[in-house]
Structure 1
Amino acid sequence: MGRSLKSLNCIRCAPSHFKYLFLLAIVCGAIFLFFTISNTTVDFFLSYETPTSPMDFRRSSIPESDEGFTINTVGCTIPGLRPFDDSIKKFITPPDISQCRYANISLLGSNDTHIWVIHERLQYYNVPDNVSFSCCYKPFYRPNTILDITSNDVDERVKYDTCVMFADYIEVANEFVKVSCSYHLKIIYESFFLFAPKKPFISYQAKEKKVNFTDLGRNLTNKTSYNVIVIGIDTVSRLNFYRTMPKTLTFLKMKGAIELLGYNKVGDNTFPNLTPMLMGIKDTDLKKTCWPDLRSSFDNCPIIWKWFKEAGYYTALGEDSAKLGTFNFGKMGFVGNPTDYYTHTFMHEAEINVGNNKDFNSFICMGNKYFYQVLLDYIEALTRTLKSSRLFGFFWEVTLSHDYLNYPMAMDYSYEKFLRKLDKSQYLNDTVLVLLSDHGIRWGNIRHTKQGRLEERLPFVQILLPPSFRENYEYAYNNIKQNSRRLTTPFDIHATLMDLIDLNKIKDEIIDSRRKTSYANERSISLFLPIPTNRTCKTAAIDDHWCTCYKSRKILDSDKKVIDAAQNLVKHLNVLIQDQPQCAQLKLDEILDASEMMVGTQHEREKEWSEIMVVVRTLPGGGVFEATLRQDEAQWMLAGTVSRLNLYGDQSRCVQHYQLKLFCFCQ
């Protein structure tokens, strides 16, 4: 201490110009030290470098696998891809999203137990703080019966209770709450609140018999089991996750999350990719399994949360949009509550009453709060409420990430903060967390690049296992690490989740015996088992159109095979809409791109059949479609479904079918 004072006195007694020079040296040294430490920290924690401006991209340092391939096995090679490849730099720009700009200043605050008036903000509503002012607390819920329905759609039914008035604060006793505040008999503010109260545990057997059994503090789940939380972010490829959510990625890497580099989608959009994940079957199999037509509900479908419920878990299904819900967009949804905690009723009411900042397909904000943040806060509240029980939760964000390539940048900080909170609360010590997407961006200019086409088929998957997992299930852990560089699909996620219901199935001795079973041709393989190196798209049930393992070569648009393929594609589109007289017949306007897929042997391609991936524009409407067609002798057939590469907007307003909307141009 004395030495420090002496140094300070020396500075004071020095000539003034020496003082300034000395202080300047200290400041420069501090700045240099700051940037040195900052750069070292960034380089240490980040596996790649993020752009400092839309056009300032530095070389990514993401490690690639063998010989520059993303994965390189006997059955599948996926070329090496870099987040900031030269072909896509121009598409990466910071999103122009302001903070829920059309919302009023919040007049109410809340926590897990209370809602209160923020009196100092009354001035913004021209309300004196000392006058008569009141708010109406109105709970609402989804009735158990469908006799009292206020909506034409069964999953949108809702019932509101009577008002409870308060002027200062009120204790919360409900799951969904609407609060309206009035001054001089005029409503000046309205808000919706989503809570996660502890509910009585109803066992699967009791639920089927309509008998209630209350969990009186007992943990009805095996103590050796883990919580299982699946959180989806719609329309984010593996590399776009790197580009747009580096903070979240850095946290996951720091915690030892396992990334699936060869995770290949199996269908076009959300529904055909989540059906295999949640049910273990293709969406095309639902017609003969549990969902005969669009007028049917999904109540009888073998969705995985039913098996977790049977094993003694609380279950939750939460999405941040009711309109774009996985089971609701163009579909009926559920008649009964599918899970113990189900947010659809709340999100629907919030969307139609206080939803704002609509950006193409969905409302981004609920009042002055992002809808995705509402969902994250709800998940966190559930983890607090059910900390002494076991939870299986499936949650899906769509409002911000669905329509635009770069919008996930706006969510990065929130997701990282959310994960850090779970970590700080020790919740991750008992939880298997799966963070993933269904596919990459399906439209826009990036889709016309080779990398954009591959990214669209390679969504991100990050799996974070609790620290005890590696100790207790060493073989299973080593297998999932190995499988990070194998060809994987949503079917494999389903098999993995099924294994987590009964952890006895992944004990070392059981895994050792299971791996000896021949399953090379199975489409659904648990990630806790070694996935064969000779696995192909065919054995993994990936249609040729979606397969990223195949090489391709460009061919001229004028090639006769290309013209035939394009004409047959348009013919197929017209067959799809032939029962919709309100839809115009489509005509081929232009062939935009064509490639020959290197599928099968050279002899097969030359003598027997070939596959052409073609991109066309049609009239009327200018729809841009991509498909892979196989020519077998004189016949052309689709090798998968058809992708639409540009948005249809309101062109398809005259049809309600969620698939036909892609192809219909309303006359």
Structure 2
Amino acid sequence: MVRAVAISFIRLIGCFLFLSVILTWYTLFSKPSKKIFFKVDEVEKGFYVKSRKCKMPYVDPFNAEFLQVKKDVKFVPCTNESDLITVHYDTIFNQYMLHINVEVIHKLSQSNQSDFACSYQKIIYGESVDHYDRKGNKTYFSQDYLVPLDIEGMLVDCRTADEKRVLQKDAFMFVQHKEPPQNSPPKRKPSVIMYGIDTVSRTNLRRMMPMVYEFLKSPGWFEMMGYNKVADNSFPNIFAMLTGYSPESAESQVCNTDDEGCLDEIPFIWKEYKKEGYLTAYAEDEETSNTFNYMKPGFKVKPTDYYFRPFITALERETLVQYCPGCLMKYCLGRRLANSYIFDYCRQFMQRFVADRPIWGMFWTNHFSHDDFFMLSAMEHKILNDLMNFEKDGSFEHTIMIFFSDHGARFGPLMRMKEFFLEERLPIMFIYLPPWFRQKYPQYVEALKQNQHRLSSNFDVYNTLKHILRIEAGLEDTKWSYDCPQCQSLLYPLPENRSCAEAAIPETYCTCHEYEKVKEEPWTWRMADLVVNRINQYLQLKNIQNLCSNLTLRAVNLTEQDVNPSKGMRFYHTKFQVHQNMGEFFATVLYDKETEKLDINVELISRINMYGNDSVCIHNKIQKLYCICLSELRPLIK
């Protein structure tokens, strides 16, 4: 009897599995999902975007060229020691607690005695919020010490009882509790978190972080595969996303971002979120290369409610700094990866507030990806763990997350590959919508699905950030970007047939147009030589020719022309090298090879090799690209 029942049960399960397979087959092939087949139809045909005005090619991440330069980079931890101090959050007191792990003390002291002395010093920043001021007085603490609410950062020191031998030093940052406003609005507002990694292209994410890429294909995530950068380096790309301005337009309309105090006047998007009752945060992991401090004056007034800049300055000055091989940026600060502080800060920010009130934050890392794009593979588990922790905490239930980069690799071996033009100009852009938001606003979900394969830019992201604030207003017009009157929110369908000009993407950075390689001829050298002459004229115009060497053409490595036939002026790409310190450049030019008329904006020419100290004599961020200092000039190589 039992055997008969078991056989019947097994047959029932078998029928159920068979029906499931049939149903799945029917769903996928008889009634195809637009999302699945749209991706197959476009990407497998070789395009991220394919319209009359834009053909953005898909790049095989693991093509033969890449496999020739590929190298494996292993993750290197900052320490192999266990944590002597761990931080916990006490939900009753709404305070952080320092827990001392006695077993670790025994191991470090090589003794069973529990005699030790642990103390901390508060990190204090002065009148200028962009700078670390000093350490506070030494305060001793005991087991499960509650951190006072006025401490946002501390340096910890644990020693043997006689204080002669250091057991472990550490540092901790805290997003301290704040009471929510009394009269909070009844309608639910989505929180917005921007999680950014410097120098990550769409192709490189797929090849260097495949597990992260798979995570970002989970329900609720949308990849903007037609996303194209609008400027060369980090500052102008991030600036456009956060303000709707280019730095040049901001100079004419608001102030010059190179002037002290200007950044405090700029209408950053976080100011609008703060006005609408959001708590705001900004954190970045490099003191010198910080987006708003590298060749920029930084902020005089604290820009967001939680601001990490003085703490990263303290960490770099007060902890043991370690560099990864071949990197210029700091890899470890004390016992932790530099970016660990940033994303732990992000996690704390969400843990403390996201379930109770709306928040906006941007958390940006430079240190492991900027100098060596292969380091992305070594950090894959770290980034995946960050995302999975956000999910485990339940933060994704409340949050619109933007996982993004500013541009792809701009230097190094990828610049010698056939697809280097696309690598540099197509950064990652993923947008996550929480379940309640998807249920409440299905029209915005459909719009994001459509926009995945349509051309978009930084200015559309800015409009999207503004649109989220006004989501209940039912706006039809979301065109707020000053530098892109035709840009709009990504929560509405973008025009299918859109050009780079309509998305405010300069031709220099536009990946929509097809170019074909031209064989080397006298006119290709002449065109490149004229570009070099324009650079020399630029150095004279900026009155820095007494500091910077005159450049002379050494080699033309590549010439491409726009495939659209035209008489007279025509778009060309030229990649060339100069004799001086073997500098390498890439330019998009309008050129007439018959009349030798050339039209080019020198400040849009890319420097595509690492130039290190070549331009140490110049302190202007743009001029540094074209200056090879006379003081740093190496003997010419013929």
TM-score band w.r.t. shorter chain? 0.7 to 0.9
Q: TM-score, normalised by structure 1?
A: 0.80
Structure 2 counterpart of 1:77, which letter? K
Q: Deviations over 1:139-162 (max 9, x none)?
A: 12323x34xxxxxxx722424322
Pick aligned residue for 2:336 from 369, 375, 378: 369
Judged with a 3 Å threshold, the aligned counterparts in structure 2 of structure 1 residues 535 and 620 are, in CA distance, closer, same or farther, namely same
Judged with a 3 Å threshold, the aligned counterparts in structure 2 of structure 1 residues 516 and 275 are, in CA distance, closer, same or farther, namely closer
Pairing 1:411-490 to 2, within 5 Å after superposition: 411-490=379-458
Task: Find out whether 1:558 has 2:521 as its counterpart.
Answer: yes
Pick aligned residue for 1:623 from 583, 605, 624: 583
Q: Which residue in the other structure is 2:634 paired with?
A: none
SS at match of 2:520: coil
Aligned-residue offset at 1:180: 2.5
CA contact (8 A) 1:616 1:626 kept: yes
SS at match of 1:191: strand
Task: Find out whether 1:80 has 2:58 as its counterpart.
Answer: yes
Judged with a 3 Å threshold, the aligned counterparts in structure 2 of structure 1 residues 222 and 264 are, in CA distance, closer, same or farther, namely farther
Task: Find out whether 1:283 has 2:262 as its counterpart.
Answer: no
Aligned-residue offset at 1:344: 0.8
Q: Which residue in the other structure is 1:94 paired with?
A: 72
Q: Aligned equivalents of 2:88 and 2:41: distance in 1?
A: 45
Q: Which residue in the other structure is 1:245 paired with?
A: 209
Aligned-residue offset at 1:304: 0.4
Q: Deviations over 1:179-218 (max 9, x none)?
A: 1234445572432111111136xxxxxxxxxxxxxx46x3
Q: Aligned equivalents of 2:143 and 2:110: distance in 1?
A: 14
Q: Aligned equivalents of 1:115 and 1:64: distance in 2?
A: 55
SS at match of 1:421: helix
Structure 2 counterpart of 1:481, which letter? K
CA contact (8 A) 2:192 2:361 kept: yes
SS at match of 1:111: strand
Which structure 2 segments of 5+ residues have no match?
A: 4-38, 90-95, 632-638
Q: Aligned equivalents of 2:522 and 2:497: distance in 1?
A: 34
Task: Find out whether 1:176 has 2:153 as its counterpart.
Answer: yes
Pairing 1:44-59 to 2, within 5 Å after superposition: none
Q: Aligned equivalents of 2:187 and 2:124: distance in 1?
A: 32
Q: Aligned equivalents of 2:82 and 2:76: distance in 1?
A: 14
Task: Find out whether 1:396 has 2:364 as its counterpart.
Answer: yes
Q: Deviations over 1:537-559 (max 9, x none)?
A: 11211111111111112123333
SS at match of 1:380: helix
CA contact (8 A) 1:476 1:528 kept: yes
Q: TM-score, normalised by structure 2?
A: 0.84
Q: Which residue in the other structure is 1:114 paired with?
A: 97
Q: Aligned equivalents of 2:316 and 2:185: distance in 1?
A: 35
Total equivalences in the alignment: 575
Judged with a 3 Å threshold, the aligned counterparts in structure 2 of structure 1 residues 168 and 128 are, in CA distance, closer, same or farther, namely farther
Aligned-residue offset at 1:263: 0.6
Q: Which residue in the other structure is 1:55 paired with?
A: none
Q: Aligned equivalents of 1:63 and 1:552: distance in 2?
A: 24
Q: Deviations over 1:628-667 (max 9, x none)?
A: 1112665322257011111111222222222233222221
Q: Deviations over 1:576-622 (max 9, x none)?
A: 44433332222212111111124xx52xx32x301221111123211
Judged with a 3 Å threshold, the aligned counterparts in structure 2 of structure 1 residues 550 and 187 are, in CA distance, closer, same or farther, namely farther
Identity %: 29
Q: Which residue in the other structure is 1:405 paired with?
A: 373
Q: Aligned equivalents of 2:82 and 2:388: distance in 1?
A: 28
Pick aligned residue for 2:571 from 608, 611, 617: 611
SS at match of 1:177: strand
Pairing 1:444-593 to 2, within 5 Å after superposition: 444-505=412-473, 507=474, 510-511=475-476, 514=477, 522-560=485-523, 562-578=524-540, 579-580=543-544, 581-593=546-558
Aligned-residue offset at 1:477: 1.9
Q: Deviations over 1:21-60 (max 9, x none)?
A: xxxxxxxxxxxxxxxxxxxxxxxxxxxxxxxxxxxxxxxx
Q: Which residue in the other structure is 1:68 paired with?
A: 46
Q: Which residue in the other structure is 1:255 paired with?
A: 219
Aligned-residue offset at 1:353: 2.2
Pairing 1:4-403 to 2, within 5 Å after superposition: 63=40, 65=42, 67-100=45-78, 106-112=83-89, 113-122=96-105, 126=109, 128=111, 130=113, 133-143=116-126, 145-146=127-128, 155-166=130-141, 168-173=143-148, 174-183=151-160, 184-186=162-164, 188=166, 189-199=168-178, 215=180, 218=182, 220-221=184-185, 223-292=187-256, 294-297=258-261, 298-359=263-324, 360-386=327-353, 387-403=355-371
Aligned-residue offset at 1:104: 6.6
Judged with a 3 Å threshold, the aligned counterparts in structure 2 of structure 1 residues 659 and 129 are, in CA distance, closer, same or farther, namely farther
Q: Aligned equivalents of 1:651 and 1:83: distance in 2?
A: 32
Structure 2 counterpart of 1:118, which letter? N
Aligned-residue offset at 1:394: 0.9
Q: Deviations over 1:280-330 (max 9, x none)?
A: 011222322344252423111111000000111000001122222110112
Q: Deviations over 1:220-242 (max 9, x none)?
A: 35532100111111111111111
Structure 2 counterpart of 1:74, which letter? R
Q: Aligned equivalents of 1:293 and 1:532: distance in 2?
A: 33
CA contact (8 A) 2:402 2:432 kept: yes
Aligned-residue offset at 1:361: 2.5
Which structure 1 segments of 5+ residues have no match?
A: 4-61, 147-153, 201-214
Judged with a 3 Å threshold, the aligned counterparts in structure 2 of structure 1 residues 429 and 132 are, in CA distance, closer, same or farther, namely closer
Aligned-residue offset at 1:395: 1.1
SS at match of 1:382: helix
Aligned-residue offset at 1:70: 1.7
SS at match of 1:384: helix
SS at match of 1:450: coil
Structure 1 counterpart of 2:584, which letter? V
CA contact (8 A) 1:274 1:438 kept: yes
Structure 1 counterpart of 2:230, which letter? V
Aligned-residue offset at 1:498: 0.4
Task: Find out whether 1:637 has 2:620 as its counterpart.
Answer: no
CA contact (8 A) 1:355 1:363 kept: no
Q: Which residue in the other structure is 1:655 paired with?
A: 618
Aligned-residue offset at 1:105: 6.0
Judged with a 3 Å threshold, the aligned counterparts in structure 2 of structure 1 residues 644 and 258 are, in CA distance, closer, same or farther, namely same
SS at match of 1:628: strand
Structure 1 counterpart of 2:311, which letter? F
CA contact (8 A) 2:155 2:169 kept: yes
CA contact (8 A) 2:400 2:431 kept: yes
Q: Aligned equivalents of 2:200 and 2:453: distance in 1?
A: 19
Q: Deviations over 1:384-436 (max 9, x none)?
A: 11131110011111111111122112222222222223223322122111101
